[in-house]
Structure 1
Amino acid sequence: MTAASHLSNEEAAILPQLMAELDAGLAPLAKRSRRISRDSTPYRPTESEQRQGWAWKGEIAISDDGPLKGLSFAVKDNIAAEGLPLTNGNLDRSPYWPDQHNSVVEQLLEAGARCFGKAQCEDFCQGGQSFSSLPYPVQNPHTPNRSAGGSSSGSAALVARGMVDFALGSDSAGSVRIPASHCGIVGLKPTRGTFRFDNAMSLEPFLETIGILARSVSETNFVFDALKPASRSASSRRPLRVARVQPSGSIIVADEIGERLNTIIERTFGEGIENIELDLAEANQAHLGIYMIGMAHRLRGLSQPFGSQDGHEPEAAAALAEWIADRDTHSSELALMLEAGERAYKRYGHAAYVEAIAIANRTTDHVNQLFKRFDVLILPTVASEPPVRPSSGDGLLAQVATSFSGTELTAPFSLTGHPAMSVPLNLESNLPVGAMIVAPYGREDLLFVAGKLMETNL
C-alpha cells in the first residue's frame, strides 16, 4: 500500500477506470460556468435606473437555443446569478459575488433566456411595500409616489415597465404576489418546494418560494412550463368549481376592489360560484410567529440562511454575518425587525414556534378540505390600493407601519404552501390591484386556466 494514497496496488490499478467514470459525469457540470458569456461587465445603475427597479446591470447567457430563446429576465437581488453581485436590497453594503447560479437561474439560462441583471428588492427582503431598499426606493411604474409592492419590488417594476420579459422573485408572505398586484402584472408563487431554494438568501427559508412575474398569465405559464415540463394540465371537460372567499374578522377589503373582483368572477365563471368565509387571523398570527422566531433562531447561528434545502456556502454565510453585524448600513425596517425578532425569541422561545407550526398544520388541513369541494379559491391579493409613500414629516412609525402592511391576505398561503397567483384587475381609478387565485398542491395548471379566463373578462 502506498503511503501517499493509502491504496493497495490492486486498488490503485482500478482507480483510473473509476476516475474516467467520474470525469464523464462531472466534467460537463464543471464546464457550465465556463460556458457563461458576459456581454457586458456588471455595473451599478444610475439613481434613475435604481428607482426603476435595477440593482445591478449586466447581461449573462449560456445557451443560444431553447424554449425561452429571445426572452430576457431579471433576478431578484437575494437570488444568486454567477457573474453578478448580490447585495440583498442594499447597494451601500459590500457585495457578495456568488460563484454559481441558483438552480432556477441555471435552468432559465439553459433554456435560452438572457439575464439582463439583478432586480432591486427590499433591504434583506423585509416588507410588503417598496420603501426600504437602499439607497433609493423602487417607484411604482404607474404612480411614482405609491408603493410598487415588496419585497420583489424591482422584479415587478421592471416587468411592468417592459424592461424585461419576465423576472424571478421570492415569496415568503406575499413578496411576489403583492408587487404583481401593485404593478398591474401577474405574479406566481408555485407550490412550496416546486423550485429548489438553493443559492438564495432568506431570513426564514421555511416559508420561502421562488416565483415568476410576467405581464400576462400566458407568459407566466410559458416560463413555468419551460422550468417544469412535466407539470399537469387541467381538463377542460367541466367548468371550474370556484369558491369566492370572503375574508372574515378584521380584514376590510376596499369597496372598489371587492366590487370589481365580484364583477369579474361572475362574468367569468357564471352562477355556479359558491361564497365561503375564511378567517385568516390565526394563520397570520402563526405566520408571524414562524417568521420572527425562526429568523432569530437562524441568525443566532447563521444556520442555513443561504438556501434552506442545500445548506449554504461559507462565503455567503460570512457575507450575511458581516451585513447583519454592520448595523450602520441597515434600513430602519431591517434594524427594527432584527431587534424585535431577537426580543420575541428571548421572550417566547420555542414554545411559540411549536404552537405556530401546529396552527400552520391545522390551517393547511382546513384549506386541503376546501379543495375537495373546489378547484380554486379566489380573493383579493391585497385589501386596498397601493399605499402612498410616507413623507419624512409623517414620522418613522408611519414609514415602518406602512412598509410592513399588506400581507394579511397573502401570508396565510405562504404558511400553507399552496400555489397562488395574482392576476391584475382594472379599477376605474386606474390604480393597479390584483385578484389572487389559490389551487391545490401541484395544480398550478388550475391557476393558469382560471387566470386566462379572468384575463379575457377584464
Structure 2
Amino acid sequence: MSPKLPTIDQILNIAEFYGMHLNEEDAASFRGLMAGSMASYARLDELAEPKLPVKYPRAPGYRPSLEENKYNAWYWKTDIKGSGEGPLAGKSVAIKDNICVAGVPMMNGSRVLEGYVPEVDATVVTRILDAGGTIAGKAACEDLCFSAGSHTCATGPIRNPHNLEHSTGGSSGGSAALVAAKEVDMALGGDQGGSIRTPSCWCGAYGLKPTWGLVPMTGGMPISYSVDHCGPICGSTEDIARLLAVIAGPDGYDPRTVVAKVQDYVGALSRGVKGMKIALMKEGFGHPTSDRTTDEKVRGAIAEFSALGATVDEVSVPMHYDGPHIWTGVILEGAAEMMIKGYAMGNNWSGYYTTSLQEAFARGWQSRPDDVSETVKLVLILGEYMHRRYHNRYHAKAQNLRVLLRKAYDDILDAYDLIAMPTIPFPATKIPPADCSREHYVDAALNMQQNTCPFDVSGHPAFTVPCGRVGGLPIGMMLVGHHFDEATLISAGQAFEQIGNWQSR
C-alpha cells in the first residue's frame, strides 16, 4: 500500500511541533506541494530492494527448555550446516542474538522485538557457513545490548558457568557463557563499550574486539555506527585467529569496511613475542573501583612476557581517564537518535538497511515502550534531553575529541607493539536480585567499563586473554594494538596461553 498524503490537521500538528505558525490555507498549499514527492514514494513501493543472500537450507530450530539451558545463555537453538569444508569445518558457532540468521527468531534481548524472524543472513553468518562452520543457535544478550551486566535480558539473567550467582558480563553474555561451558567451539559477539571483552573476561574466554571497520556489521542491529564492532569469542587464541580470518574483510554493504586491512591471523600464532615492546599502562590500574588482587595478578601476567623475550615498560596515558567521558558523549545521543528513535538503523547511512528489522522494531518500540530495560529507558530519556536542551553540542564535541584520544594511544604505540592492562578491574559481580532498586540495577549494568569503552571510541583492536582467578572467578588481561594489527595481539595471546593453564594462576 502506497503512503497517503497527510491531512490538513496532520500538517498543522507537525508545524506546531516545530514552532511554525501556519493556517489552513498554508497547510493546503504545502499538501499540494507534497504530491510530487508522494509519487516517488509510490514508485519505491513498486521496486524490489536487494536482499542479503541465504545460501544454506535450515529448519527454524527451537527455544530450549530450562533443562537444556542451564546458564540461560541460549535464546534459540539450531543446527544450520554450512559448506562442510573450509577452515571452520567441524566447528559449532553461536551467533549473538543481535545478528540476523534467516528463518530463526531474533529478539536482541528485548521484548519489543519478540516474534521477529529475519529473512536474511548477516554477512558474517554467510562467511561462517561458507567456511564450513555450523550455526548452533542464537546466544542470549542484554536488552538491545545496552548493558555490560547480564541481568537485563528479557528472557532472564544469563549465569556465569564458574558461579551461577554471578554475572557473565554483557552484552554478549550468552556467547561467552556458551564458549566457557564448552557448549560451542566459537561465538560471535558485539562490542560498543566492552560487550565482547567484558563477558569474555568474566567467563574465562578469549574475546577480541577488532579494529573498527575490520568486520562488517551488515545484517546486525547496531547501537551507534561510530562505535559498533563485531568479533570472535572463543576458547583459545587459535580459534580466535581462525574465526577472525573468516569474518574479517571488506563488505560492499558496509562502507566502514572500505579501510579494512586483513592479515594472516593463523600464521601469527607461531610468531611469539621475542623482540616485542609491551607498554604496561599505568592508568589501567588503580581505579577507585579496582580490586587490588586483580591488579596484582594482571601486573604479574604482563611481566611474564619478559621471560618470553619481550620488553615490558610502564607508560602513562593520562587521557585514558577521559575515555569513558568521551564515550558517554558519543554513545548516549548516538544510541537514542539512531537505535531507538531511528528504529534500529537510523538514516543517512550509505550501507545496507535491514528494513524488516526496522519495521519490527518500530512497531514493538512504539507499542510497548515500558517493556524495555531500565538501562534503555535511561539512555533514551537522557539522550533525548541532551539533544533537545543542548542541540547535539556534546555529542559533536565528543566525536571531535575521539581524535585526540586515539592520538594519545597512538603516541604510545609509535614506540611499542602493544599496550597491556586489566580488562575489567574486578572479577564478576553478583547478579542483582529481581527486586533490587533501579539504582542498583543500572549500576550493576554499567560500572565496569573503565578500561574497555575508551577503545570503542578510539577504534583500536583489543584482545582479552584469561590470566588467572580471583575468588574462584576468572580475570583477564587486555592487549591493545595498532589499528588493523590484530596479528600482533594474536601472537602475544598465543604466547601467553602456552605458558600454562590460566585457571591455576
Quickly name the TM-score band, shorter chain normalised: 0.7 to 0.9
Report the Cα distance in structure 2 between the residues aligned to 1:255 and 1:307, rounded to whole angstroms. 46
Asked whether the 8 Å contact 1:50–1:138 carries over to 2, the reply is: no
Counterpart residue number, 2:184: 164
Answer yes or no: is 1:261 the counterpart of 2:298: yes
Answer yes or no: is 1:408 the counterpart of 2:447: no
Shift of 1:340: 2.1
**How do 1:360-371 and structure 2 match up within 5 A?**
360-371=402-413
Shift of 1:323: 2.7
Counterpart residue number, 2:391: 349
Shift of 1:99: 1.6
Q: Compared with structure 1, are the counterparts of its residues 328 and 51 closer, same or farther at alpha carbon in structure 2 (3 Å cutoff)?
A: farther
Counterpart residue number, 1:315: 356
Question: In terms of mean alpha carbon deviation, does 172-181 or 394-403 score higher?
Answer: 394-403
Shift of 1:251: 4.6
SS at match of 2:160: coil
SS at match of 1:144: strand
Report the Cα distance in structure 2 between the residues aligned to 1:197 and 1:30, rounded to whole angstroms. 15
Report the Cα distance in structure 1 between the residues aligned to 2:245 and 2:342, rounded to whole angstroms. 38
Report the Cα distance in structure 1 between the residues aligned to 2:82 and 2:325, rounded to whole angstroms. 44
Question: In terms of mean alpha carbon deviation, does 56-65 or 188-197 score higher?
Answer: 56-65
Percent identical across equivalent pairs? 28
Counterpart residue number, 2:497: 455
Counterpart residue number, 1:373: 415
Answer yes or no: is 1:272 the counterpart of 2:311: yes
Counterpart residue number, 2:84: 64
Deviations 1:136-155 (A, max 9, x none): 11001111111101000100
Q: Compared with structure 1, are the counterparts of its residues 328 and 87 closer, same or farther at alpha carbon in structure 2 (3 Å cutoff)?
A: same
Q: Which of residues 478, 492, 498 is equivalent to 1:436?
A: 478
Deviations 1:216-264 (A, max 9, x none): 1111112222344951465669511000112178554311111111212
Report the Cα distance in structure 2 between the residues aligned to 1:364 and 1:395, rounded to whole angstroms. 37
SS at match of 1:390: coil
Q: Which of residues 324, 331, 337 is equivalent to 2:365?
A: 324
Report the Cα distance in structure 1 between the residues aligned to 2:283 and 2:386, rounded to whole angstroms. 28
SS at match of 1:432: strand
Q: Compared with structure 1, are the counterparts of its residues 147 and 307 closer, same or farther at alpha carbon in structure 2 (3 Å cutoff)?
A: farther
Q: Compared with structure 1, are the counterparts of its residues 388 and 180 closer, same or farther at alpha carbon in structure 2 (3 Å cutoff)?
A: same
Q: Which amino acid aligns with 2:363?
A: E
Answer yes or no: is 1:79 the counterpart of 2:99: yes
Report the Cα distance in structure 2 between the residues aligned to 1:261 and 1:250, rounded to whole angstroms. 14
Answer yes or no: is 1:183 the counterpart of 2:215: no
Counterpart residue number, 2:341: 300
SS at match of 2:195: coil
Counterpart residue number, 1:46: 65
Question: In terms of mean alpha carbon deviation, does 145-154 or 255-264 score higher?
Answer: 255-264
Q: Compared with structure 1, are the counterparts of its residues 50 and 81 closer, same or farther at alpha carbon in structure 2 (3 Å cutoff)?
A: farther
Asked whether the 8 Å contact 2:422–2:477 carries over to 1, the reply is: yes
Shift of 1:268: 2.3
Shift of 1:89: 0.6
Shift of 1:291: 0.4
Counterpart residue number, 1:3: none
Report the Cα distance in structure 2 between the residues aligned to 1:152 and 1:320, rounded to whole angstroms. 20
Report the Cα distance in structure 2 between the residues aligned to 1:304 and 1:61, rounded to whole angstroms. 29
Alignment TM-score, normalising by the size of structure 2: 0.80
Q: Which of residues 310, 323, 327 is equivalent to 1:287?
A: 327
Question: In terms of mean alpha carbon deviation, does 180-189 or 250-259 score higher?
Answer: 250-259
Deviations 1:82-104 (A, max 9, x none): 12111111367432222211111
Q: Which amino acid aligns with 1:395?
A: S
Q: Which of residues 398, 417, 432 is equivalent to 2:459?
A: 417
Answer yes or no: is 1:246 the counterpart of 2:288: no
SS at match of 1:285: helix
Deviations 1:342-375 (A, max 9, x none): 1222222221111101211101111111111000
Q: Compared with structure 1, are the counterparts of its residues 394 and 85 closer, same or farther at alpha carbon in structure 2 (3 Å cutoff)?
A: closer
Report the Cα distance in structure 2 between the residues aligned to 1:225 and 1:210, rounded to whole angstroms. 13
SS at match of 1:290: helix
List gaps (5 residues or longer) in structure 2: 1-49, 250-261
Counterpart residue number, 1:19: none
Deviations 1:400-453 (A, max 9, x none): 111112111100001001111101121252211111000001110111111112
Q: Which amino acid aligns with 2:313?
A: E
Q: Compared with structure 1, are the counterparts of its residues 398 and 32 closer, same or farther at alpha carbon in structure 2 (3 Å cutoff)?
A: closer
**How do 1:193-212 and structure 2 match up within 5 A?**
193-212=213-232
Asked whether the 8 Å contact 2:102–2:118 carries over to 1, the reply is: yes
SS at match of 1:435: strand
Asked whether the 8 Å contact 2:273–2:495 carries over to 1, the reply is: no
Deviations 1:101-144 (A, max 9, x none): 11111100000000011000000001111010013110011111
SS at match of 2:164: coil
RMSD: 2.3
Shift of 1:187: 0.4
Q: Compared with structure 1, are the counterparts of its residues 334 and 142 closer, same or farther at alpha carbon in structure 2 (3 Å cutoff)?
A: same
Shift of 1:392: 4.2
Q: Compared with structure 1, are the counterparts of its residues 238 and 435 closer, same or farther at alpha carbon in structure 2 (3 Å cutoff)?
A: closer
Shift of 1:41: 3.2
Asked whether the 8 Å contact 1:197–1:307 carries over to 2, the reply is: no
SS at match of 2:329: helix
SS at match of 1:207: coil
Shift of 1:179: 0.3
Asked whether the 8 Å contact 1:198–1:308 carries over to 2, the reply is: no
Asked whether the 8 Å contact 2:326–2:402 carries over to 1, the reply is: yes
Report the Cα distance in structure 2 between the residues aligned to 1:403 and 1:202, rounded to whole angstroms. 19
Q: Compared with structure 1, are the counterparts of its residues 428 and 220 closer, same or farther at alpha carbon in structure 2 (3 Å cutoff)?
A: same
SS at match of 2:283: strand
Report the Cα distance in structure 2 between the residues aligned to 1:138 and 1:205, rounded to whole angstroms. 26
Answer yes or no: is 1:134 the counterpart of 2:154: yes
